[in-house]
């Protein structure tokens, strides 16, 4: 029994069609898959947020130091005023 190439044409055509459809599908997936880009964007935003949080912490620490300084200065001034009032009362 002789097999000619003509009998294999439908099988070869089906395989070629399947291969082309698969290749087209793979190309679309690679083209429209933005996962890596989205992950990079999220990483960038996390880094920016971390930097902003660090800046806010530094600002809060500076404000805390200013408030403590103001409180101590007010206490010292209050004590001085009380001492001056006592001195004036007993004079």
48 inside domain: yes
- For the chain, the domain total comes to 1
Whole-structure pTM over 0.95, yes or no? no
Each residue of 47-75: b (16+ CB within 10 Å) or e? eeeeeeeeeeeeeeeeeeeeeeeeeeeee
18 inside domain: yes
What integer pLDDT is reported at residue 91 of this predicted model?
Answer: 78
Q: How confident is the model at residue 68 (pLDDT cuts 50, 70, 90)?
A: very high
Nearest to 90 by CA among 82, 40, 44: 82
1 inside domain: no
Q: How confident is the model at residue 1 (pLDDT cuts 50, 70, 90)?
A: very low
Domain residue limits at 40: 9-89
82 inside domain: yes
């Amino acid at each position: 029994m002789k097999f000619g190439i003509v009998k294999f044409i439908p099988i070869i055509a089906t395989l070629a069609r399947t291969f082309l459809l698969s290749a087209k599908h793979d190309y679309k997936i690679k083209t429209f898959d933005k996962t890596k880009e989205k992950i990079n964007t999220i990483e960038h935003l996390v880094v920016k947020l971390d930097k902003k949080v660090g800046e806010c912490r530094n600002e809060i620490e500076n404000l805390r130091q200013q408030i403590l300084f103001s409180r101590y200065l007010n206490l010292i001034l209050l004590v001085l005023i009380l001492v001056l009032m006592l001195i004036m009362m007993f004079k």
